Amino acid sequence: MSRPILSAAAREVHGKAVKNLRRQGIVPAVVFGHGVESNAIQFDAHEFELLRRRTGRNTLLDLTLDGKKAVPVLVHDVQVHPITRHPLHVDLLVVRMTEELTVDVQVVLTGESTAVERMGGVLLQLRNTVQVKALPDHLPQSLELDITPLEDFDQVLHVSDISVPADVTLLTDASEAVARVQAPRVEEVEPVAEAAEEGEEPTGEAAEDGQDEGSSTE
């Protein structure tokens, strides 16, 4: 099975000067890993964005550096702009296809919960990722957790309930909670104050004010 290809070139620009690269639509990056010294590289920002949209998390890429033989890499980290979300810097990890990797994988909730659909509860996802170990070409992009068993507000789904392929080892503690349904909040209605009885004599300042008004003369 062919892997997506990312073409890159050696990068001579470092430090604050990389801002100029970004203005030109180029992403600064670093590639490191087995048999490869840490190298500063760069590639086209638009090409990388298209690649990210077509692939998911933990997807292997074939990196070609200056037209040389492609090497398998994993996107280890992507620093993005806080507003535009455009990539500012990328770390690529060179991998060995015969050596297992440990990565974080997103947990995706599937199915429908009776406690949510019929009882008005609020679904809470307590963990968004779990840690797994697998060969590079077996790394899952996500793992699914069926929330159908959440039929009331007392039930909790744990890491052990996540569906995991046979060629993937789950490293996160199996007893950790992942999802539950919170009961809907019931707002307390404050009792309406009873209307004052007719003819009730004014007291305190109100009575004094009334006396002042009645005794005033021009």
pLDDT band at 216 (very low <50, low <70, confident <90, very high): very low
What integer is the mean pLDDT of 50-75? 90
| Structure confidence at residue 218 (pLDDT) | 43
Cα separation, 162 vs 172, in Å, equals: 11
Count of other CB atoms within 10 angstroms of residue 24: 10
What integer is the mean pLDDT of 87-114? 95
What integer is the mean pLDDT of 209-217? 48
The whole-model pTM stands at 0.75
Which domains occur in the chain, in start order?
5-94 (2.40.240.10), 101-182 (2.170.120.20)
Is residue 126 scored above 70 in pLDDT? yes
Among 73, 60, 57, residue whose Cα is nearest residue 129: 57
pLDDT tens for each residue of 127-157 = 999 999 999 999 999 999 999 999 999 999 9
Cα separation, 98 vs 115, in Å, equals: 44
Strand partners, 180: 124, 156
| Structure confidence at residue 54 (pLDDT) | 87
Which comes out higher in pLDDT, residue 35 or 108? 108
What integer is the mean pLDDT of 112-132? 96
